[in-house]
Structure 1
C-alpha cells in the first residue's frame, strides 16, 4: 500500500466532507460551545484554534482551553447550531456512564447470582471513602480523547446523589461536557418515586491479592435496563449528536438503556452525518444470544456503524470465524455502512481491515500494571486519527501507544494515559515485533486483492512474505505523528 498518497485522505467522511476538507474550510473549527439546557447538568467549553503541520498539510485545529459557565444557557448559540448543523464537538460518548468503586478484597465475590447480589448489597450499605471512587464506563474513552486534545461530551444519565455529582465534577475537571438524557417528566417522576432506578449506576470493581478483577453492579441482577424509564431522545440529546463528528457506543450501553433507544440514537447519528463507532465488548456475545430485541438491535448497530472495534475473541464470537482478518471481512460484508473494522490483539497489536486493505501494527512493550481501560483508550486514539485524517497505520500506532500507556497505570477513569506518557512510549519505540505471529497471521492473505501494510522497526518477516506487502518504518510514522501530539495543548485542563 502506498501510504504516501493515503496520508492526505480518509476513507470515512464526516458530515458529507472529509475531516481534512472541514479543517481547511473552517480556520476555527469550534467557534462556540455546545449549549445545554439550564434544566440539565452540563459544562460547556470554549475553544481557540492552533495551527499544526502534519505530512506537509497545514491545518487549524481546536485547542481546548477553559470551562465557561457564563455560556451555560446561550440561546443564540443553540439557535445557530440548530440552523447551521455545525460539528462543534469531536467525540460524543453515548451511554454507559457509571462510577467505579475500586476495592481490594481478600477474595472475589461468590459465583451464584444470589450470593453476588447479597455481597454487593453489603458493600453498598455505607459509601466507601471517596478515594476509592472513579469515573467509569464510557468516561474512560472520553477522558483519554480529551487528553489527546479532542473536544468531548458525554451523553447519558447520572443521578443527583453524591455519586452523580462526583461523576459530573470529574468530567468538568477533564474539560468534558455532560448532556443529561432525562426529560422534565422523568425529573417529576423521580421526585414522586423512591425507586433507585434514577440513581447513578455504580460498578464495584473488586481486586483480589492476585490482581484478578471481579465486577458487579445492579444491572447484573435485572432482566431490564437500569434506566428502563428512559424511552425518547430529547431535543438536547439530538442537538448533541447532530453537533458531534463521532458518536461512540459500546455493548455495556444495553445495561442502562433499552435496545430500541440505543438504535434510535445511532440511526439519528447516521441521518445527521455523525460517524458511529461501536465496540460490542464482552457484552456482544451475550447480546447475540439474548432476547429477540437485543439480537435485532445488535444486528442493526453492526450494520449501521462506520467503525467497529473488537478483540479477536469478540470477533470470533460474533462471526464464528477464528482468523481475525477473515472475521473482520465478514463484518464488513454484512454491513451497510462500515468502512473500518479494527481488531484488537492485546500486547500483539492491532489490525485495521477495509474492503481494499489490511493495516497491521504491532504493540509496544511496557511493564503492564493493569489492563483496565486499555481498550477504551484505544478507541479514543482511533477517533483522534480519523478526525485528524491520519493514515490507517499511523492511527493504529497511536492506538497501540495509548493502550500501552494506560496499561502502565492502575485503573481507568482519571488514571488512563496522559499525553506525556503516550509521547514517551512513542519515543522509546520499543515495538513488540513477533515474527512468528505476524508470519502466521498474514501468510494466508498474501494472494488476495487487498493491499497489506505492516508497521515495523526492522525487516522482521521472511523474504517470501515481505516481498508481498509494504512495511512502514516506525521512525517514519513517529516523525509524522509526534508533532501533532506534542502540540495537542491540554495543559490548561489536565496535568501532563
Structure 2
C-alpha cells in the first residue's frame, strides 16, 4: 500500500471572485500554465500590496519578545518595494515516497546501488510529492503569506510537476540561473529525494546529492540580477542546511551577505547538516559561521544546538548562540512533541506542545518554521508565535507526508479551538524551576488564569488562543482574493512586457523577474 498524499484545493467562493473585476478574472484564465519564455518585471506601481506584512525587526532591547511592528514599519517596507513576505533559498526537490521492507544500507557503495535500482524505472506519479523548501513555502502560503522560491528545477516531467504544485498553492519561483533553461544534461535535472518508509514507520532518505563531494548545482557560480531583485523585494529569506547539497558555500555566503545589505531578514535552520558542515571544508565552515552569526532568527532542535555549541542544556546552548550572534534576535529550540523554546537576549519563552494522534512527522519542522515566519512578520508576541508554531507543526503530524499534506489553515484552527497541551513527566515545570533563578521566563500555561510570580510570567492558553483565532480567521477569508490578485498582477505585467523592450537587469533595476508556473 503506497503512502497517499492529499492535494488540498484552494478554497474559492463567489464573494471572493466578485472582489476581482471581470477583466482581471479573464486575465487569470488567459494566463497559460508552464514557464513563460519572457521575463516579467514587477514594477512598484503594479506590485501587489501585502496587507499587514511589514518588515519586523525584533528590538534586542525589548523584554516582551514582541516584534516592534507598526504602520511606520509597514510604510518603510512598502517604499522599499518589499512586496514578498518570504523567499526560500534552494532545496527545491521532488520527494518520491515509498514503502519499503527495509531501509537502505549504510555503506556508501551499497546505498548508491540501492538508489540506482530505485531510479531505474520512473515511479507512479501517485508517489510524488513536493519536498525540501516547498514544505515551508506551502505552509507559509496557507497562512496567507506571499511566498516565492529561489532555486532551480529542470525542464523534465519532475520539474513541471513541482512548478504545478507551487502554482496551485499561489507560490512563484525565480530561476537562479537563466542559462540552465537551455541545458538538458543530467546535472541540470530536478533533484529527487527518495523518502523511504519501513514497516515500523522509520524514515530513510537518499538523493544523488548524497553521493557527490560537490553540490548538485555547482555550476551556479554567481548571484544573478533576477535573484538580486527578488531578494530586494523580499522581507525574509529562509535557508536550511540542505541548501549546501545544491549550492556552493561561496554562493550561499554571497546571497546571505547581499540579503543583509538590502535589508532582508535572514532565517536559518541548519538541520542535521549543521554538524557535518561544522567539520566540513573551510568554505563550508565559513558559510556556516556567516549564517549562524548574521541570521536574524535561528531554528534548531535541542540536539542540533548542542552539536553546534558543545553544550547539552538546550537553554544554555540557545543562549550561547544568541550571545555569539551579531544580528540574532530569536533563537528557537524545537523540542519535538514536548513543545518549543524561544530565547531572546533578555527572556526565555516556554510553550508546551499539543497532544495529537501522530501519523507522520515529515514536514513538521518546516511547517513549524513557517508559523515562526508568520509571527515575526506580524509582530506577534513571542509566546503567541510559539503557540501558533506548535499548532501548525502538530497539525502537519496528523497527516501523511509533507508537501501538499502539510497543515491547512482549517486544521490549525480546529486544533487551536480544542488544544490539549503536553504535560507529561512535569517536563515544563522542571524547565521553569531549573532556569527561573537566572532568567526572566514566560510560560504558556494550561491554567485559566495568568499572572507573574518572581521572575516567571504565566500566560494562559485560553488567552493566547483568543488572540490568535480572530487573526487566523481573517487569513482564511482573505487568502483567495490575495492569490487571485497576485496572479492577475503577474499576468498584466507579462502583457505589458510584450510591448516594451526588455530592460537590462542589474543592481539598480526595479522589479522582480518571476517565472511562474501559472
Pairwise TM-score range, normalised by the shorter structure: 0.7 to 0.9
CA–CA distance in structure 2, aligned partners of residues 85 and 50 of structure 1:
15
Q: How many pairs were matched up?
A: 428
Determine whether 1:92 maps to 2:87.
Answer: yes
* Paired residues for 1:189-268 under 5 Å: 190=183, 195-268=185-258
2:447 to 434, 441, 458: 458
Give the number of the structure whose residues are more often strand, by fraction. 1
1:475 to 455, 462, 466: 462
CA–CA distance in structure 2, aligned partners of residues 98 and 148 of structure 1:
22
Decide whether aligned partners of structure 1 residues 109 and 409 sit closer, same or farther in structure 2, where only a CA change above 3 A counts.
Answer: same
Aligned 8 A contact 1:51 1:58 in 2: no
Determine whether 1:339 maps to 2:334.
Answer: no
CA–CA distance in structure 1, aligned partners of residues 386 and 124 of structure 2:
38
Aligned 8 A contact 2:448 2:462 in 1: no
CA–CA distance in structure 1, aligned partners of residues 109 and 365 of structure 2:
30
CA–CA distance in structure 2, aligned partners of residues 41 and 435 of structure 1:
57
2:161 to 147, 163, 166: 166
Aligned 8 A contact 1:159 1:198 in 2: yes
CA–CA distance in structure 2, aligned partners of residues 47 and 424 of structure 1:
30
Determine whether 1:330 maps to 2:320.
Answer: yes
How far the C-alpha of 1:42 sits from its partner, in A, is 8.4
- Runs of 5+ consecutive residues of structure 1 not aligned to the other structure: 1-36, 63-82
Determine whether 1:130 maps to 2:125.
Answer: yes
Aligned 8 A contact 1:42 1:180 in 2: no
CA–CA distance in structure 2, aligned partners of residues 140 and 149 of structure 1:
15
Decide whether aligned partners of structure 1 residues 361 and 41 sit closer, same or farther in structure 2, where only a CA change above 3 A counts.
Answer: farther
Relative to the length of structure 2, the TM-score reads 0.78
Deviation per residue, 1:115-174 (Å, 9 max, x gap): 111111111112111111000000000000000000000000000000001001100000
How far the C-alpha of 1:451 sits from its partner, in A, is 2.1
Determine whether 1:307 maps to 2:308.
Answer: no
RMSD: 2.9
CA–CA distance in structure 2, aligned partners of residues 455 and 257 of structure 1:
39
Determine whether 1:440 maps to 2:435.
Answer: no
CA–CA distance in structure 2, aligned partners of residues 338 and 323 of structure 1:
19
SS at match of 2:475: coil
How far the C-alpha of 1:43 sits from its partner, in A, is 12
Aligned 8 A contact 1:145 1:380 in 2: yes
How far the C-alpha of 1:50 sits from its partner, in A, is 6.5
CA–CA distance in structure 2, aligned partners of residues 145 and 214 of structure 1:
26
Relative to the length of structure 1, the TM-score reads 0.81
Aligned 8 A contact 2:372 2:389 in 1: yes
Aligned 8 A contact 1:433 1:460 in 2: no
- Runs of 5+ consecutive residues of structure 2 not aligned to the other structure: 1-34, 54-68, 485-518
CA–CA distance in structure 2, aligned partners of residues 376 and 393 of structure 1:
19
How far the C-alpha of 1:51 sits from its partner, in A, is 8.1
How far the C-alpha of 1:105 sits from its partner, in A, is 1.1
How far the C-alpha of 1:204 sits from its partner, in A, is 0.3
Determine whether 1:484 maps to 2:471.
Answer: yes
SS at match of 1:487: helix
Equivalent position of 1:279 in the other structure = 269
1:410 to 394, 397, 400: 400
CA–CA distance in structure 2, aligned partners of residues 221 and 334 of structure 1:
33
SS at match of 2:236: strand
CA–CA distance in structure 2, aligned partners of residues 43 and 379 of structure 1:
30
